[in-house]
Structure 1
Amino acid sequence: MMQMLITGLICGALLGFVMQRGRFCLTGGFRDMYIAKDNRMFYALLIAIAVQSVGVYILIQTGLIQFTAGAFPWVAVIIGSFIFGIGIVLAGGCATGTWYRAGEGLIGSWIALFGYMFMSAVMKSGFLLPVNQAMQATQLPNNSIAETTGISVWVFIAILVVIVAAIVMRELRKPKVVIPSLKPKRKGLGHLLFEKRWHPFFTAVLIGVIAISAWPLSQATGRMAGLGITTPSANILQYSVTGDVSLINWGVFLVLGIFLGSFIAAKASREFRFRMPDTKTGINSFLGGNLMGFGASLAGGCSIGNGLVMTAMMTWQGWVSLIFIILGTWTASYFVFIRPGKSNAASAAITS
């Protein structure tokens, strides 16, 4: 228990700190791909995937960790990921983003987090468990892209690394937009950690390294997985109700660490403050949180579990899930952000 407490909290705190300071928000990133035609956060995600993929498969080949891709529940992954994508727009953040933004004092994120934990628990052990199991029963026998195609996993990793390297070089060659900044109030390390804006690509590399470290740290406690948010979040609520100590594992301390690390970063950077949402935002946050919990449980992972980890493991589940999370985000973004603007413009035209 002490090992889980220490390593899980440390890994989670580092992740929460880095995400908070780097503003690593996949919800905003996926949304901006569609609305603002800004792909930088998506590119940052690809960097984190590539870094993790190289590191984890080195660990696998050296025998330090084990991984089995299992079967591919394609129907559940497609439907669940699309619903999850809709949910994160309403909630104002993905699963991990909700944890770290709750650490900043956003009450709306607390509301979304409760809905996410509640529905995840309902899907995993409540009255919707039969629905979850029935939809996941439709499977393809092999989830590994390498095993399905008969091509070495290192070929796919090499292709990803080359693509990511080309993207990074192209983006870094673009002319920089100089944004006037206030005079730094801190010097040295304090300025770099808590004032200077972190580049999303630098943040992504750090997240990739943390994701690599999560594998051996987690497996040392008997949990054969890397970063994961949905099941640990459900376990927290289930433990609070049942008192079943078996629900407490490394992943639980990981997500609690994310909250703690984000809180430390927000306080140190003077960004922490309690912010109460209006009624409409609060309702959307709760609804979005429930959709997140339903979708992530059905898909077997969230934007981190599937979109960052299972993609790095070169599984069908990870890459198919990432595609449908993005499509769900774009669909919700159209109805939440674009269509209301068109309706207001049409109303104004008719009135004038």
Structure 2
Amino acid sequence: MNLATILEQHGESLVLAIGGGVIGLLFGFFAQRSKFCLRAATIEFWHQKFGEKLSVWLLAFSTAVVLVQGLIVLQALDTSTARQIAARGSLSGALIGGLLFGAGMIMTRGCASRLLVLSANGNLRALLSGLIFAVTAQAALSGSLAPLRNTISSWWTVEGGPTRDLLAITGIGHWGGLAFGLLWFAAALYFAIRSGWGLWKWVGGIGTGLAVAAGWWYTHLISSNSFGAVAVQVQGLTFSGPSAEWLMRVLSSPAPHIGFDFGLLPGVFAGSFIGALVGKEFKLEGFQDGYSMRRYIAGAMLMGFGSMLAGGCAVGAGMTGGAVFALTAWLALIGMWAGAGLTDRLMDSQATVPTAAQQVAGTTANMQAP
């Protein structure tokens, strides 16, 4: 039975949802086992440690770039109609949103995808932060924060098409993008080898990047074989939009139509849960004091608003958009690294002089990564 027949019998929505679930399962499992985390990678970078966390992120990112650009060169993928390239974008939104998101992920000790992974591992701090992230993202998309988001986004915009495509702007084309990805992959291998051997660091990092590329390839495959009245959108992995969608699915009726995003979040949750069971790392964790709770709440709000402003989260804008060399995605990624570095430096300086409440509660251990 070929794909066209499957789509005709079951419909594009269901097939997309199933594919989103499977790809999400792989992403969740590999991200959990490798401890994939942009927040941890930025901390190592700004502290000039260049260790395991940075090498895992570089492995994942470079793998996604190489595979996506390789598929395009082989004409097995076309991302020219994806919103990151084709639609009008906001440079001001990408940069400011990236800064806010980077600051927020330091405060919550994880980006949007990491919060979902940790939630499946029993981390109640991450679960609460993820819920607040989703509420804020929805408010920024179509709620009370939407006017502010639209105002900031209008300050500096760019038309869709070649003017939003870094490969077209620089003139290096997709072969140049592939070479760039291979260069980053070589750098990732260097840092990975230097930081020491770890099976899940290699397998998990590469597997996470593979899942990102698979998202692009799968939605393109369905789009190319679809004969529905409504065109299937070519898209990749992201967590801000799906989080807001799942929130509205729970709170409103009728619920949004199912699609790739419908299966993605449950798939990531299930994959991370399986990974935690395999590694015997499932453990219920909560807040230790009021200070840390306030920090997580504020950080989740910054991430939720920042992700909608930037056009995606650390995975959606940073990896998925970065792999197709969308100008706004790279600006957002730069903003995330800068915002994370500045916030980490600020919070480190504050942490050297703990408050009396923190001393009583003994929260020094809580300042470490989960």
- Structure 1 distance, partners of 2:186, 2:334, is 21
- 1:12 is the counterpart of 2:30: no
- Superposition deviation, residue 293 in structure 1: 0.4
**1:29 paired residue number:** 41
Contact 1:115 1:286 in 2 (8 A): yes
- Superposition deviation, residue 340 in structure 1: 2.6
Q: Deviations over 1:238-277 (max 9, x none)?
A: 1212123335321131112111111122123221121111
Give RMSD over aligned pairs.
2.3
Aligned to 2:281, what secondary structure does the other structure show? coil
**2:158 paired residue number:** 140
**1:97 paired residue number:** 114
2:34 is matched by which residue type in structure 1? G
Q: Deviations over 1:143-191 (max 9, x none)?
A: 101211233232133133124314524652x4859xxxxxxxxxxxxxx
Aligned to 2:236, what secondary structure does the other structure show? coil
Runs of 4+ in 1 over 6 A off after TM superposition: none
1:220-239 matches, cutoff 5 A? 220=222, 222-239=232-249
**1:209 paired residue number:** 210
Contact 2:140 2:308 in 1 (8 A): yes
1:74-113 matches, cutoff 5 A? 74-113=91-130
Contact 1:236 1:247 in 2 (8 A): no
Show structure 2 runs of 5+ residues with no match.
1-12, 224-231, 356-370
Show structure 1 runs of 5+ residues with no match.
178-196, 345-352
1:327 is matched by which residue type in structure 2? A
- 1:333 is the counterpart of 2:344: yes
- Structure 2 distance, partners of 1:27, 1:311, is 17
- Structure 1 distance, partners of 2:248, 2:43, is 32
**1:190 paired residue number:** none
Q: Deviations over 1:223-248 (max 9, x none)?
A: 31111111000001112121233353
Aligned to 2:285, what secondary structure does the other structure show? coil
- Structure 1 distance, partners of 2:140, 2:257, is 15
- Structure 1 distance, partners of 2:46, 2:66, is 29
- Structure 2 distance, partners of 1:262, 1:57, is 27
Q: Residue 252 and residue 285 in structure 1: after superposition, are their counterparts in 2 closer, same or farther (change >3 A)? A: farther
**1:323 paired residue number:** 334
- Structure 2 distance, partners of 1:169, 1:330, is 23
**2:71 paired residue number:** 59
Contact 1:235 1:247 in 2 (8 A): no
How many pairs does the alignment contain? 324
- Structure 1 distance, partners of 2:101, 2:324, is 21
**1:150 paired residue number:** 171
1:258 is matched by which residue type in structure 2? V
- Superposition deviation, residue 39 in structure 1: 4.8
Which sits farther off after the overlay, 278-287 or 21-30? 278-287
Q: Deviations over 1:289-338 (max 9, x none)?
A: 11110000000011101111111111222222111101111111112223
**2:313 paired residue number:** 302
**1:252 paired residue number:** 262
1:34 is matched by which residue type in structure 2? W
Aligned to 2:280, what secondary structure does the other structure show? coil
From 114, 133, 148, give the equivalent of 2:131: 114
- Structure 2 distance, partners of 1:12, 1:34, is 30
Contact 1:118 1:237 in 2 (8 A): yes
**1:168 paired residue number:** 189
- Superposition deviation, residue 54 in structure 1: 2.7
1:172-191 matches, cutoff 5 A? 172=193, 174=194, 176=196
